[in-house]
Amino acid sequence: MRSIEFSKRTTREILRDPLSYIFCLGFPIIMLIIMTVVDRSIPKEAQMNIFKIHALAPGMAVFGLTFVMLFTCIQLSKDRTTAFLTRLYASPMRSVDFIIGYTLPSVVLALIQVMITYICSFIIAAIVGGDLKLFNMLFSVVCLLPSVLLYIGFGLLFGALLNDKAAPGVCSIVITLSCMIGGIWMDVDGMGGGIKSLSHCLPFYHGVQAVRMAVSGDMRRVTKPLIITLLYATVIYILAVVLMRGKMKKDVR
Amino acid sequence: MSERYGIEIKNLRKEFGSKVAVNDISLNIKEGQLFSMLGVNGAGKTTTIKMLMGLSKPTAGDALIMGNSILTDLPKVKQISNFSPQETSVAPNLTVRENLDFFARIYGYDKKKADELAEDMIEKFTLQEVEKSKAKTLSGGWQRRLSIAMALISSPKVLFLDEPTLGLDVLARRELWRVIEKLKGKMTIVLTTHYMEEAEHLSDEIAIMVGGEIKALGTLEEIKKLTGKDNLEDAFISIAEE
């Protein structure tokens, strides 16, 4: 019950910050529209599919998660730098209540954001033409869950380690990495070389690929990137939880 | 008849590396008393109350909060005590009522009871005019008042107030004194402060800490008599400079 009450409080804190709407909801939708316009101006001969709605919608869903990471991180680091958490440490709340209380609102926020991004994608597909199948889109939400865990894990990790001044800067590095070598905006496979190798070593590319394959209905090829993302997500989240617990003890030393 | 103690401190010690922050202090605080801890910065006041609340593990020694050990009965200690820290410590984007409700809920009250308790605190602390305002929009004085109301909503048997009037203007401070005075006798209160007139005005007993040790302990009159001074500030200076 305490974890639910703490989740409600975290949700309110996030939702009452206008920046949450601008970045978590507004920004991905605006980028979806802009990239669709960009796609219209790219000649067909270029054979560039990354901005087609079936590739853009999953990319944008993952892009939105990077902002969920940012807000999870800012919320935790802000709480840590005020005396608010200290007084909660003196209450009967246990560390598991804190972990659930920060994770649950971010999961809900991420899923709402994905739903809104997908609804907008359906509208865009209906206007400009595009083949988005409802079943594939719903299945892709399941394939997105490891990425949800991964980005929330990063948010908790940076929030536990950094103060509220440093945390957004470090998060922006992960946002950039996701966008570029994660293949959201860039055709990493088409580039090859070191960039391709690097992107294949990190989880972001696999997270985007799993969702793109699900949206395209390429179910046979979903498994590998899905498992890789899930493994990364599990490691990062567990690391975040361990560090968070350690930091909590250290904060009140 | 034996006296009942709200807090019994037994050889409590805290070391940070080679630095001794609290040096084997022992004292008893009677149930229902308002006990003030005075000391210059770094004297060990906040470290002591952090240990009493279970926020910091003692290097040695123990303390009993209403008979419950901070080492072995910590969940019970946390349930029966509460704390208002010196810094602003409210959820900034929650309203006054939501802050109160949230604290009642994490101390285990159901929604109906939490609503009742929040209503009661709003009335007791005359928070009606700001109850729907977000905590971050309140002035320092209102935030401190809310902070203490949040500490009281769990009906603690022991309340720790860490420099509750720090940074407040004289009117807000006097208003908060009136609030604290009303609590006297209803629970054991441990107050840390830098303001001598605050300790003089509110305390049943006073401890003066210097370098992690208790250098003087007693009622205001006893401390004045001990030092031969006629006010607490002079008595404090003579002890601190010894």
Testing the interface with A: which of B15, B50, B55, B59 to mutate, by most A Cβ within 10 A?
Answer: B55
Q: Among partner residues A83, A92, A93, which is closest to B85 by beta-carbon distance?
A: A83
Q: Which two tokens stand for residue A37?
A: 């316009």
B78 at interface of A, judged by CB pairs closer than 8 A: yes
- The pLDDT score that the predictor gives to residue A214 is 94
Please report, to the nearest 10 degrees, the dihedral formed by the alpha carbons of residues A73, A76, A82, A84 taken in order.
Answer: 160
Amino acid identity, residue A221?
R
Confidence category of residue A253, pLDDT binned at 50, 70, 90? low
- pLDDT tens digits for A93-124? 988 999 999 999 999 999 999 999 999 999 99
Quick: pLDDT tens for A134-156. 999 999 999 999 999 999 999 99
Is A60 strand, coil or helix? helix
Does the distance separating the beta carbons of B94 and A12 come in below 8 Å? yes
Residue B143 one-letter amino acid: Q
Burial class (CB in 10 A: 0-12, 13-18, 19+), A173: exposed
Residue of A nearest to B47 (CA): A253
Å between A83 CA and nearest CA of chain B: 5
Q: What gap in Å lies between CA B69 and CA B78, rounded to an integer?
A: 11
| Pair A116, A24: CB distance under 8 Å | no
Query: What local confidence, expressed as pLDDT, does residue B64 receive?
Result: 95
Coil, strand, or helix at residue B65? strand
Computed over every residue of chain A, the mean pLDDT equals 89
**Best residue in B106, B115, B153 to probe A by mutation, most A CBs within 10 Å?**
B106
Q: Which residue from A minimizes the CA distance to B15?
A: A253
**Residue in this structure with the two tokens 């109301």, named with its chain if needed:** B149
- Mutation pick from A10, A76, A87 vs chain B, by most beta carbons of B within 10 Å, is A87
pLDDT band per the 50, 70, 90 thresholds, residue B140? confident
Q: Which residue of A has its CA nearest to B53?
A: A90
In this prediction, residues A40-46 reach a mean pLDDT of: 81
**What ipTM was assigned to the predicted interfaces of this complex?**
0.86
The pLDDT-based confidence of A252 (bands split at 50, 70, 90) is low
Give the A:B interface size as CB pairs under 8 Å. Answer: 72
pLDDT band at B85 (very low <50, low <70, confident <90, very high): confident
What is the rounded distance in angstroms from the CA atom of residue B127 to the CA atom of residue B113? Answer: 19
Q: Chain A: give the shortest CA distance to residue B88, in Å.
A: 6
Can you list the alpha helix ranges (DSSP code H) found in B89-139? 96-106, 111-124
Across-strand partners of B208? B38, B216
